[in-house]
Structure 1
Amino acid sequence: MNLFVLIFGIVLLPKAYTLKCFDCSFGRAGTCTENQCPASNYQCAAIRIVAYAGGSQLSDITGQSCVLPEDCLSGSVNFGVARTVINSTCCATDLCNNQTATGISDLVPNGKKCFTCNEQMNQCKETLNCEGSEDHCIKASVTQGSVKTTMKGCVSKAFCLQSSSTIGSIGTDISCCQGDYCNSSISTRAGVLLLVAPLIYFIVFF
């Protein structure tokens, strides 16, 4: 009898509600569709990614999609010569991500300092003044072919809390730490938002 009740309850159990969100391809205007999120813990998101190099803006990409709450992050990673700024706006009602995300405008020095690298001088002892929400230092080693390049700079804490098992697949080893100039030598490895690693790679090498 109990087994019958259990089976009957499972059959009649309402399907878990999942959000419907706009899905707009990054960098491809006018290609939005309505998409059912894969699980009930997803949110709708509008994301903006702006990349800079040498003080000039390289790209400004927007998109909308379903994301997990932990991937709804805003902040920046700054290596001095290259910076990527990400702003995410998330919501939890059907098709609520119908507006493009705005940029982050409060990138002013916050008093924290990290080491950055000067490729011409072949050393990583120059000071980089962190800006906005960049409250951690970062060190990245990028391998392209047989050449290994070290990059240092500032990063927002939110990016350092994400774990990624695939960062190494593009030849990138990334570590974060807290405290002025703590990225002189970092022995404790921390995960960084998966999106940051490919951006670092493409900004620097393409």
Structure 2
Amino acid sequence: MALHITLLLTTAFFSKALAISCYGCIPDSAGACTTNWITCPSRCGAITTTVYVDSKKVVSSTAKTCGDPVSCVNGSMNSGQSKVTFNSQCCTTDYCNNVYAPELPVKPLNGKKCFTCNATADCTRTMACEGDETQCFITTAEVDGKKVTTKGCSSKLFCGNGTQVLGLRVQSYGFGANMTCCEGNLCNGAQSLRVYFLMLVPPLSLFIF
């Protein structure tokens, strides 16, 4: 009995000791948020999401919340005409996420190529992938009652548990997209790819341009 009580007290002590205080700030639908403080299991985090259209930045959104080793990642998803990037940073001391994560910088080409689609649904063109975009992808989505296909390059982040970054679900803009990924060069030319997950469309959607 004494041993049982000791174990309970030890567990409670270490659980409390491992918890840290962090800043919390999750933008609302208008992009604004009020900074407060939250208690996290072990890490604080900050994330910045940036959307580009025709190589021009159209929106950048930031947040602060709890983090963990799995969600403290960065990456990008690029359809040629549109690109969304995530950059997250984590730390392990009280209120260490006092600044926002910077936007993910532009990274050099990595030698990989994937098929991409243009506005007329011609998906025979190819594009060069950047940074850690090691996957080719295909998405299909319903937009205004029509089936839209998008192809391009993606970090592995989006092709697994990539629907969550720092515990935040990728923001939805009202419709879903069935996404498939593969690793080979130009491997997204075929339709018979393994389906990894049913994801919600990222901010401003890569799939409507």
Question: Per the shorter chain, which TM-score range?
Answer: 0.7 to 0.9
| Alignment-mate amino acid for residue 55 of structure 1 | S
Alignment gaps of 5+ in structure 2: none
Say whether the 8 Å CA contact 2:115–2:189 is kept in structure 1.
Answer: yes
> Which whole-Å CA distance do the structure 2 matches of 1:21 and 1:63 have between them?
12
| Alignment-mate amino acid for residue 146 of structure 1 | G
Work out which of the residue numbers 153, 163, 184 in structure 1 matches 2:189.
184
**Where in structure 2 are the equivalents of 1:63-78 lying within 5 Å?**
63-78=63-78
Residue number in structure 1 paired with 2:150: 151
Decide which moves more: 83-92 or 61-70: 61-70
| Alignment-mate amino acid for residue 18 of structure 1 | A
Q: Given the superposition, is the C-alpha separation of residues 111 and 203 from structure 1 closer, same or farther in structure 2, using an over 3 Å criterion?
A: closer
**Structure 1 length as normaliser, TM-score?**
0.82
> Which whole-Å CA distance do the structure 1 matches of 2:38 and 2:203 have between them?
29
Give secondary structure in 2 for the equivalent of 1:127: strand
- TM-superposed CA distance for 1:64, in Å, is 0.9
Residue number in structure 1 paired with 2:102: 102
Q: How many residues align?
A: 195
**Where in structure 2 are the equivalents of 1:16-165 lying within 5 Å?**
16=15, 17-26=18-27, 27-28=31-32, 31-37=34-40, 40=41, 42-120=42-120, 122-144=121-143, 146-162=145-161
Matched, 1:8 2:5: yes
- TM-superposed CA distance for 1:44, in Å, is 1.0
> Which whole-Å CA distance do the structure 2 matches of 1:202 and 1:130 have between them?
19
Q: Given the superposition, is the C-alpha separation of residues 83 and 163 from structure 1 closer, same or farther in structure 2, using an over 3 Å criterion?
A: closer
**Structure 2 length as normaliser, TM-score?**
0.81
Say whether the 8 Å CA contact 2:140–2:148 is kept in structure 1.
Answer: yes
Say whether the 8 Å CA contact 2:51–2:204 is kept in structure 1.
Answer: no
Q: Given the superposition, is the C-alpha separation of residues 191 and 91 from structure 1 closer, same or farther in structure 2, using an over 3 Å criterion?
A: farther
Give secondary structure in 1 for the equivalent of 2:104: coil
Decide which moves more: 146-155 or 15-24: 15-24
Q: Which runs of 4+ in 1 moved over 6 A?
A: none
Identity of paired residues, percent?
Answer: 31
Q: Given the superposition, is the C-alpha separation of residues 130 and 204 from structure 1 closer, same or farther in structure 2, using an over 3 Å criterion?
A: same
